[in-house]
Structure formats: structure tokens, C-alpha cells
Amino acid sequence: MAKHWMVMTTLASLPMRWPGGLLDRERIYHCCRILLAIEIAVFLFMVAGTHGLVVPLSKPTSTDFVSFYAAGSLADAGTPELAYDKAEHYAAEQRATQAGIDYNFFYYPPTFLMLCAAIAHLPYIVAFLIFEMATLCLYLLVARHILGDRDSAVFVPLLAFAPVLWTCGLGQNAFLTAGLFGAATLLVDRRPVIAGVIFGALCYKPHFGLLVPVALATGGHWRAFAAAFVSTAALCLLSLTLLGWDTWRDYVTAAASSFALYQSGRIPFSGFINPFGAVLLLGGTPTMAYAVQATTILAAALLVAYVWRSQFPLPIRAATLAAATLAAAPLALFYDLMLAAIATAWLLRGDGKNRLVEWEKVVLMGLFLLTLSPRSLSEITHLPIGPLVTLGFAVFVVTHAVRANASVSGSTGREADYQKPVFIQLSPGR
């Protein structure tokens, strides 16, 4: 529960007017541990339910991971282009699990198909567990480094962040996206070439790298920019060599037709967290949704360009890029909120003058509560809860940047203030 913990930790570590020290470190740690235990219990109950151990199921179920595994198995069989053939891909999904499952589409580029092919050599369940656990560890280690907290207790609240369990349960790749994004921003100032290579790896999910060139170019990070370009080109050429031109051709054809799926309601609009999904959920037309999303992309690009060109401290720049990317992504679903945890971790890294004020703590608390189950809340209220969370993070970052800029205007040491990590102690009694 990264956002919840971050809010509570900041509250406890700063002077405040709460009566009786209600949110001291000991209570924060125990609250996170209790919440994680509750979430795990609910998670296990839902897993049992999807396997028919609670009530009988009318049809077999699967996860999003079956799409990755099926595509990889087709590549291993020497027919990678069939990953983008609906009938063949669906048949591979059923071979991996059971006949009659719902179909999970595969619109990822061949750069991701290479990874899918590697893990598809393993049995399905083993591949699922290894992929989720490896990418989860990546996210946890990166988030820990961003926060600068060496205490192993930090993993409790990080694991209690609700989208963590959603990502695990659905078998999605949001940990990989968040881990790569966080690692690249962590290194962009100190190791620009390595950061660029990591940014380039985001080409497996290209819409989440949409604003990276804007940030690197306007910020003058040309070594990182060049490394990202070379990294992306190398991965694309490698996939072209290994998987063939036909695979890329079929991918482009499938990706071009994917918009019809996303605007059809086949994937419930309640699960979207971007303006595109918000417009459709509220009854708008696809044309309106595309127009609003395009406007958001433009606004997000201008925001990122301003912040990175102005040479704000790294935590502000990194948080802005993460939050703006989440809003600008043409396709973003509720498990992609993992990227919001990276944005929040960066803001909490800042030390000195730029700590969170009271209203910011309240905002983060509210955003956390909404992320517990944005899809269900949207279905109940018929309101775009996920997009509101995304917008809330974007507004939060903007206002925080404005306040930070005002407070350090003319100061020569503002970068130093933000580069100092905050070693937050969560262990009881500390």
C-alpha cells in the first residue's frame, strides 16, 4: 500500500497537530501489517472463488497472463506471427489452461513476445509464478531505493498497496512497467546511459514511454536520449531477426484494429483510468473520447517539458513524468496504477523545505482509498473513479511542483535538498 503508507509515514515524521500522536510510527507499522493481512485474506478468497472452491462456476476462468503464455508458446512452436491471429491465439490459450475460457487478446509488440517465448518454455503455473514474483521483486527493490529506506520493514506497506494484489491476481505486467520506469528515473542524472537503456526497454509497452523523449530532450539529457533510442532500436531489430518480418507486419495490423476493441466495451469502461475511459463511461462517443485523450496527451507533454526544462529537482521531475504518463497513456487500466506508487515515492524522497503540507496528506489518503477497488467503485457509482485518481495524482504533482518552486526560488541548494533520501523507520518503537 505504497500511497497509504507514504501518507501515513510523512504525517508521522513531521510536526503536526494531531491529538495524542495518533499517527506515530508504531501505529503506522501495525496498521499496514493489519491491512496487508486483510488484503491477503481477501485475495486468497477471490483466488478460491475463481477456481470454483467457493461456489460452482458456470465456465472455467483464467488470468491475463494466459495471453502472454499462449503467445510465447506459439513463438516457441516456430509460428510467432500467429500470436496476432485471434483463432490460433485463443486455441493456444485453451491448450495452456482449459477449453471454454474467455479470450484474452494479445496486442503487445514482438519485443515483448520475445520475453513471452522465454517464459513459455516452463509449465504454465511455474511461468506465472516466476514472472509475477520476479517483476514484483524488481518493483519492490526500485521503490525501496527511491525512498532511500534501508529497513526491510518498508516492504510491508509497499506490498499492502492494493494494485499490487490486483496485478498478481490478474497476472499482469504492471510491476515490470513500474520497476523499469522507477529504475530509469532513479539513474537518469547519475548514470544517463544506463537510464536510457532502461527507458528503451519500455518499448515492450510503448504507450507508457510516450513522454520519455519529451522529458529527456527538454531536460537536455542527450546521452540518455541517445541510449534510449539505441536500446529501442536494438530490441526491435533483435525481435525482427528472431521472429521475422511477418510477425511485425501482423502486429501492426492487429494493433491498428485494437481501437475498435477498446471503444466497444468488451473491456469494461469501469476498468479504465485515463480520460478516454472516463468519457466512454459517462456516455460520450468514441470521437469525444479520442479528442479528450489527445488534449490530455498535449497537456501532459507541455507539463513534462516545462518541469524538465526548468531543471526542477529530480524527485519533482520523476514524479511529474510518472503521473503525466499515467494520464497520457492512450490505454491504461486499474492495475497500471502501480506507476502512481512510483510518482508518490519520488515525492516522499524530498527532504528539507518541501515536505507535504496538511492538505496534501489528506489528498494522498483519499487517493489511496479510491485505489482499493476503482473498478468496483465505478460500477457502483457510475462515475469514472479510476480516471479521477489519475487526474488527482496529476493535479497533486502540479501543485506540489508549484509550491516547491516557490519555496526554493533563488536557492542554490534546492537540488541538494531533494537528493537526500529520507530513511523512514517503520519498525515498532523507532
Q: Is 265 helix (H, G, I), strand (E, B) or coil?
A: coil
Nearest to 258 by CA among 206, 295, 210: 206
Are the C-beta atoms of residues 48 and 90 closer than 8 Å to each other?
Answer: no
The one-letter code for the residue type at 323 is A
Q: Where is pLDDT greater, at 72 or 311?
A: 72
Q: Is the pLDDT of residue 238 over 80?
A: yes
pLDDT band at residue 427 under the 50/70/90 scheme: very low
Which residue do the cell numbers 539505441 mark? 230
**Which residues are CB-neighbours of 273 under 8 A, at least 6 positions away?**
326, 332, 333, 334, 336, 337, 374, 386, 387, 389, 390
pLDDT band at residue 56 under the 50/70/90 scheme: confident
Per-residue pLDDT tens over the stretch 338-380: 999 999 889 877 544 456 666 777 777 788 788 888 999 999 9
Q: How far apart are CA 21 and CA 285, in angstroms?
A: 50
Per-residue pLDDT tens over the stretch 21-31: 344 456 666 77
Per-residue pLDDT tens over the stretch 265-300: 889 999 999 999 999 999 999 999 999 999 999 999
Residue 22: the pLDDT is 45
Range with lowest mean pLDDT among 43-57, 154-168, 341-355: 341-355
Highest mean pLDDT, choosing among 34-38, 74-78, 347-351, 415-419:
74-78
User: Cα–Cα distances in Å, from 24 out to 27, 35, 261, 363, 426?
Assistant: 6, 17, 48, 19, 9
Q: Where is pLDDT greater, at 429 or 33?
A: 33
Range with lowest mean pLDDT among 115-119, 234-238, 247-251, 396-400: 396-400
Residue-averaged pLDDT of the chain = 85
Q: Is 274 helix (H, G, I), strand (E, B) or coil?
A: coil
Buried b (16+ CB within 10 A) or exposed e, 247-270: bbebbeebeeeeeeebbeeeeebb
Q: Is the pLDDT of residue 1 over 60?
A: no
Residue 408: the pLDDT is 57
